[in-house]
Structure 1
Amino acid sequence: MMKKTWEEFLKNKAFRNKLALGILLLVLLVAFLPYYFAFIEARKGIVINDLVLDYIDSANVSIPTFIIIWSLSLGCLYINLQTPSRMLQMLWAFNVLSLSRILSIYLVPLEPPADLIELIDPITNTIYGARFITKDLFFSGHTATLVTFALCMHKKSHKVIVFSGAIAVGILVLIQHVHYTIDVIAAFVFPFILVPIARRICKPFI
């Protein structure tokens, strides 16, 4: 069976509506997040006694972290753009993930780990606002985003590559003390709950 093109999908009103709503929500999230993270950064949180971080000397691994995250993210975007239904799923999966992080960060107020080193990510930091945010902790957005994108890929080889990248990023953010261990573990759990929700939203197109 031949794949439907963007032109064919866009003739479907329901698909257009779900795509437009997904893009609108993404724009609203990007506009809202700097204000939200400014609020999160100003409030008090709790400090976790993390036995794993106690055994890891913090080091700046921003460059490999940045390279892995954005090369894989852009690769997923490029691949899924070839298939409108999968692009719709990826869009909504990211939106659902973002909304869940807004809620989870609010419900679990944490102070940053000791010896945290600022993660240099020019793209993400632009979205977050002018200063580096340290309290967007539970759960790790960088790690969870790659897990989410892995689940949105069609080919098994692509899933394995992106999921491996998520594991690498999870380790790197711990080395840099940007997150607690529980933040990284949760980042591998939540996408398996959230991506099916995105798939339901995108039905009957996937």
Structure 2
Amino acid sequence: MQYDSISWQRAWEYPAFRLKLVTGLIILLGILVFAPDYFLYIQSREGVLLNDWLLNELPAVNVSSYIFLMLYPFMALMIWRMVEKTAFCITALWAYIFLCMGRMITIYLIPLEAPAGILHLEDPFSVFFYGTEIITKDLFFSGHTATLFLIALCLEKPLEKYLAFIATAILAVLLMIQRVHYTADIIAAPVFSYLFGMLGKRISKI
């Protein structure tokens, strides 16, 4: 069922809406609670060091501030759109849940060592997933790229979508310059985001 044109108060009267919203928030909270211990395990295990020729051709520069400039304004916009539209909220919430869970699975199945010459990404919001530890092996696939591409997919206004897709492309290059991801991590991210976005829309329509 769609809730686009109705208020939060009206949407809350539907049991299906309440179930999807409350269940989604509980699952997301569970992911945030579980994530620090999970990524500590990921960081402690041995992985494969890839020889990424494209990464090797790029300069290694700390561009952390530019990475956040690409990502976090669009995350704020996404949250604002979720507040505005009830159906959009359900779609985005569940798409992001699928993204988080899918990424944790792929990281577990594909153990990789951090790229050579990695520069620490100074992300003040990483504490929500990683705790206080520095995690460098959360590689396949790129969470920053996947999140921004997912936002671009979910946004409905053409200009917002266009700008978000451009920001995703810039972000992908910046992440490689920062040496925090391999090329494969970046390329795979939009593929997974598209899949999880479709799943989020399916949940919203049930």
Q: Place the TM-score, normalised by the shorter chain, in its bin.
A: over 0.9
Aligned to 1:127: 129
TM-score of the two chains, using structure 2 as the length reference: 0.95
Runs of 5+ in structure 1 lacking a partner?
none
Q: Structure 2: how far apart are the matches of 1:128 and 1:163?
A: 27
Q: Structure 2: how far apart are the matches of 1:196 and 1:85?
A: 14
| Native 8 Å contact 2:106 2:141 kept in 1 | yes
Q: Structure 2: how far apart are the matches of 1:196 and 1:126?
A: 26
Report which stretch shifted further, 21-30 or 151-160: 151-160
Measured at CA, do residues 86 and 67 of structure 1 come closer, stay the same or move farther in structure 2, by a change above 3 Å? same
Q: By how many angstroms is 1:57 displaced?
A: 2.0
User: Alignment partner for residue 49 of structure 1, among 48, 51, 55?
Assistant: 51
The size of the alignment, in residue pairs, is 203
Q: By how many angstroms is 1:126 displaced?
A: 4.1
Aligned to 2:79: 77
- State the identity %: 37
Aligned to 2:148: 146
Report which stretch shifted further, 158-167 or 11-20: 158-167
1:109-124 pair list within 5 angstroms: 109-124=111-126
| Native 8 Å contact 1:149 1:162 kept in 2 | yes
Counterpart of 2:167, as a letter, is G
Partner-residue secondary structure (3-state), 1:123: coil
1:1-206 pair list within 5 angstroms: 3-204=5-206
Q: Structure 2: how far apart are the matches of 1:14 and 1:126?
A: 29
Give 4+ residue runs of structure 1 displaced > 4 Å after superposition: none
Q: Structure 2: how far apart are the matches of 1:86 and 1:124?
A: 25
String of CA shifts for 1:121-143, please: whole Å, max 9, x gaps: 11123431112210000000001
Q: Structure 2: how far apart are the matches of 1:31 and 1:41?
A: 17
Runs of 5+ in structure 2 lacking a partner?
none
